[in-house]
Structure 1
């Protein structure tokens, strides 16, 4: 069964969430603060991390940053009462995959966890290095190579490039990538996506055969 690492400093809430997940068949490892949570992450290699943001010793954003240094694919879902746009954006920029505001429905949490675990299913025999025209893309290390030079990508840049590659020469729907990488297809996130597309076009500019084209009203297409 999938193993969930749950980090929540409110003990009562943590126990309710833990019990609810275990009743539904998940294995849950619980930590009451970020330091304990990171130690458990290094020991257990969970299938998903569900963490509060405001915690003693080590906050959830710093925890996510540490986790992403060791693992770029494990899904991270933030539980928090902080709802300002800047906080949400920071969480995603640090490698978070989803963001659930307190108070929340346990049923909604379960649905989001199942959705993220489904997206995280491994692809059979996926190559370590992807060839994109004149470039070599190491998704796990978030590096894009061209003529021996390496460009270090952010987590979201790497995930977006991987999505475009997986759908190469086909339309990558805008709403799909926004829900997958930003967790919401609202206007603000849409503008952020446009910025990331512009960055990737700049990174790939040395190969004239590569194009990321807009498909009006639908999304983007990586032409190879």
Structure 2
């Protein structure tokens, strides 16, 4: 049974979400404040976090940043009433994997939770490395685990980072259209999704910069090209 840590300070909404998730077969730990969320994260070791952005004593973005200091694997979904592009970008920059804008469908939340958990990203057997390693310059990339290795040092990518890098890799030395990435991974190409994609491309460039022979080139207004 997968364990969900739900941070939500609206009692009525929290109860509805919790009851629905329990009926779907999940174990749910509920927290109403940021401090309580951090405490229960350490004691309960959840499989996924569902975080309201606005909490009485803090926000979901700050919680995510704290979690990501030591944990890059556990998926994080934000629940937010904020709709400004910068808020969405901030969510991904703080380590989030996905977000839902309020009001949202409980069924959609369940689908997104299952999608993130189905990646089974915590299971990575060392003996499988040789079979799954893909060379990117000096790097070794393990997909779908999302592990990038250089000189024995591992960097664990988020699900979305790994998906984008894999798409670029499959189109190596050829332009991958921006709208193709957006429509496949976000199911739309609106402004919010586009800004989120910009954040992920910037992060991937940062991860790959230790090998100067590897580039992600932007073709203005069209797409990206992975070159090495």
TM range (shorter): 0.7 to 0.9
Could you tell me how far apart the structure 1 residues matched to 2:70 and 2:26 are? 23
Structure 2 gap segments, 5+ residues each = none
- Number of residue pairs matched? 216
Could you tell me how far apart the structure 1 residues matched to 2:139 and 2:107 are? 43
**1:38-187 aligned within 5 A:** 38-122=38-122, 124-125=124-125, 127=129, 132-135=136-139, 160=161, 162-163=162-163, 166=166, 169-171=169-171, 174=178, 178=182, 185-187=189-191
Contact 2:33–2:56 (8 Å) recurs in 1: yes
Could you tell me how far apart the structure 2 residues matched to 1:183 and 1:90 are? 20
Residue 205 (structure 2) aligns with: 200
SS of corresponding position for 2:58 = coil
Q: CA separation of 1:211/1:87 partners in 2, compared to 1, >3 Å: closer, same or farther?
A: closer
1:3, CA displacement in angstroms?
A: 0.8
Contact 1:51–1:78 (8 Å) recurs in 2: yes
Contact 1:34–1:56 (8 Å) recurs in 2: yes
Could you tell me how far apart the structure 2 residues matched to 1:181 and 1:154 are? 19
Q: CA separation of 1:211/1:72 partners in 2, compared to 1, >3 Å: closer, same or farther?
A: same
TM-score by length of 1: 0.73
Could you tell me how far apart the structure 2 residues matched to 1:109 and 1:42 are? 23
Contact 1:167–1:221 (8 Å) recurs in 2: no
1:89, CA displacement in angstroms?
A: 1.2
1:41, CA displacement in angstroms?
A: 1.0
Q: CA separation of 1:21/1:196 partners in 2, compared to 1, >3 Å: closer, same or farther?
A: closer
Q: CA separation of 1:159/1:57 partners in 2, compared to 1, >3 Å: closer, same or farther?
A: same
Q: CA deviation digits over 1:82-108, x for unaligned, max 9?
A: 112221111111111111111222112
Tell me the C-alpha RMSD between the 2 structures: 4.2
TM-score by length of 2: 0.71
Could you tell me how far apart the structure 2 residues matched to 1:56 and 1:179 are? 36
1:206, CA displacement in angstroms?
A: 2.1
Q: CA separation of 1:27/1:191 partners in 2, compared to 1, >3 Å: closer, same or farther?
A: closer
Could you tell me how far apart the structure 2 residues matched to 1:204 and 1:192 are? 23
Contact 1:168–1:223 (8 Å) recurs in 2: no
Could you tell me how far apart the structure 2 residues matched to 1:88 and 1:114 are? 21
Could you tell me how far apart the structure 2 residues matched to 1:44 and 1:183 are? 33
SS of corresponding position for 1:28 = strand
Q: CA separation of 1:96/1:181 partners in 2, compared to 1, >3 Å: closer, same or farther?
A: farther
